[in-house]
Amino acid sequence: MNIKIRHLFVALLVAVVTGGLVAASAVRSASAPKPISLKTVSLDVLEAHGTSLTEPENPSASVSSSASRESAEAAARGAFGPTAVVRESRFAHCVYGPVNQDCWVISLDSSVVPYLGPELKRPADFNPTFFVVYVDPVTNKVLGGEAG
């Protein structure tokens, strides 16, 4: 009888510990920000370029900020050419280089990607498939961008 009680105790202890680990894992994954996807460039490609896009920390900022979607798109076009075609725009939390904040993510047609090489023009072998620009939702200023 004593052995049965020990086995029962061990089984109960294993069940409690396993349940606690599962619950802790669920809480951790529930609190982790969800990735934001873009139709124009995959998350894997952005992550390979050192960028992380997740749900905004302050989702209401996209509505209450001075930089609406339209003005953020205009800021991106103004910085990289007024004829630039906006392919997509999303409000997200952006982690890219020194940027770690909620911002507008504006995907522009990659034909307007600037190249600041020795001749200040785009080389023939530089044919990016995406161009993403990050715009501050408060100041409406371009924070940076990436292409690839």
* Span 82-130, pLDDT tens digits: 788 999 999 999 998 889 999 999 999 888 776 554 445 556 677 788 8
The structural domains of the chain, with segments of one domain joined by +, span 1-32, 33-147
* Span 32-64, pLDDT tens digits: 889 988 999 999 999 998 999 999 998 776 666
Per residue, the 3-state secondary structure of 26-82, as one string, reads HHHHHHCCCECCCCCCCHHHHHHCCEEEECCCCCCHHHHCCCCHHHHHHHHHHHHCC
pTM reported for the whole predicted model: 0.71
Q: Which two tokens stand for residue 139?
A: 């100041």
Q: Which two tokens stand for residue 136?
A: 């501050």
**R_g over Cα of the chain:** 23
* Nearest alpha-carbon partner for 53 in 69, 32, 36: 36
Burial class (CB in 10 A: 0-12, 13-18, 19+), 143: middle
